[in-house]
Amino acid sequence: MRDVLIIGAGPTGLFAADRLSANGVSVTIADRMPSPARKFLMAGRGGLNLTHSEDPDRFVTRYREAAPFVAPLIRAFPPQALRDWCHGLGQETFVGSSGRVFPKAMKASPLLRAWLHRLDRNGVRLLTRHAWTGFGRDGTVELENEAGEILPFPARACLLALGGASWPKLGSSAAWVPLLEARGIRINRFQPSNCGFRIAWSDHLKNRFAGSPLKRIALSHKGTCKAGEAVLSGKGLEGGAVYALSAELRETLNQEGSATLEIDLRPGMSAEDLARKLSKPRGKQSAATFLKKALRLKPEELALVREAGDLPSAPTDLAQRIKAVSVTCQAAYPIDRAISSAGGVALEELDEALMLKKCPGVFAAGEMLDWEAPTGGYLLQACFAMGARAADGIEAYLKTTGEN
């Protein structure tokens, strides 16, 4: 019998395995995919954003309603601890101009290779193409192998690190939900997070400007403003600034059925400054030419301004339109296109060590729990911190059994 079975080979499960095996605990990791950490590798394609360097008190507020749950985990395993861990694997990190922390390699694959090599050296066993099917009558975890055989897997403790419901093709399918609900564990409905939103654009905008970036803009919704970039798509709006407002927009959609988003195309200029520039004589120039010269307004930005109706003739009204293009979000993009998900195992179902109160010896961590965070390193930092807490909790539990 192994000491610990970890189900899920994402960052949370792999980190818990690393921490446990370094202390001499025998660990097996099972994952239904053909190879480990597929979503982690996908996240690293454009530069692996591990964590963020901002002030710790500000950092923990990023977790919204789950901040009281996540904050102690982050304080116990802060961003510098994650960076030190990377350095211990030979992967140096750096802080970018935005405060985000990246490995110098800017990819996940070198870090993952070093990580898996150390797990192998520590005796961690990795079972791919093994899916969790639940518990047997005696409470033993059961796994289904590639041949379709259901096999019991006795272990003194089990960590569930099965991911949420976004990017199911990479492994996070939430197929585990009914297995835990059968044990009386409350699962809050999964919803998309860090996602785009559907907007009913005109055919002109969809046909001519789908895929166009909107750079150096600011988005506002009900008093919350986020600066950044976005991308016009045929279905709506997506990109970093949109993702940063996704939780607020989603909650408004849940309550009201639609959500109004205001786009400031020139956040660096006041409405008064814009109005002064727009008050200059236009002469024989077309509106498009005049706006291009006066404000360097790009064709896709002009098309966006026109989505709200005919261009106002008064400079002050046109300035206000450019500062607050109002669009209506009709729905979030499907969860399988979201970067992450909200919802999952209700936090009240866990004790401080992340053990399920109704399943002694079974722990749960990572994106399968009901919390969310914006992009920028906050997601991965919390997943690593949960892996650390779960590993410590499992070690303490094993000692209470009197066998370790």
**Same structural domain, 221 and 117:** no
113: part of which helix (H) or strand (E)? helix 109-121
CB proximity list for 308: less than 8 A, separation 6 or greater: 321, 325, 326, 327
Strands, E assignment, 8-99: 27-30, 51-52, 93-95
- Domain residues for 77? 2-193+340-400
What pLDDT band is residue 356 in, cutting at 50, 70 and 90? very high
CB atoms within 10 A of CB 402: 6
pLDDT tens readout for residues 228-261: 999 999 999 999 999 999 999 999 999 999 999 9
pLDDT band for position 402 (cuts 50, 70, 90): low
Whether residue 339 contacts residue 190, with contact meaning beta carbons closer than 8 Å, is answered with no
Tens of pLDDT, residues 62-78:
999 999 999 999 999 99
**402: number of CA atoms within 13 Å, CB side?**
0
Same domain, 183 and 218: no
Domain boundary among 287, 312, 332: 332
Residues 21/4, Cβ–Cβ less than 8 Å = no
pLDDT at residue 44, as a whole number: 76
Domain count, the chain: 2
Query: Do 308 and 358 share a domain, yes or no?
Result: no
User: 300: pLDDT confidence band, cut at 50, 70 and 90?
Assistant: very high
Give buried/exposed letters for 9-28 (b at 16+ CB in 10 A, else e): bbbbbbbbbbbbbeeebbbb
CATH number for the domain harbouring residue 156 = 3.50.50.60
The model's pTM? 0.94
Mark whether 383 and 295 lie in a shared domain.
no
Average pLDDT over residues 378-399: 97
The domain boundary, picked from 301, 332, 363, lies at: 332
Per-residue pLDDT of 27-48, as tens digits, reads 999 999 999 999 999 887 778 9
The pLDDT assigned to 81 comes to 98
Q: Are 166 and 339 in contact (CB under 8 A)?
A: yes
Contact at 8 Å (CB) between 199 and 330? Answer: yes
Same domain for 346 and 323? no
Judged by DSSP in three states, 133 sits in: strand
- Same domain? For 203 and 263 the reply is yes
User: Is the same domain home to 265 and 367?
Assistant: no
Query: What pLDDT does 404 receive?
Result: 44
Residue 284 sits in the same domain as residue 362: no
pLDDT in tens, 87-142: 999 999 999 999 999 999 999 999 999 999 999 999 999 999 999 999 998 889 99
Q: Within this chain, do residues 159 and 224 fall inside the same structural domain, yes or no?
A: no
Domain boundary among 332, 354, 381: 332
pLDDT tens profile 152-207: 999 999 999 999 999 888 888 999 999 999 999 999 999 999 999 999 999 999 99
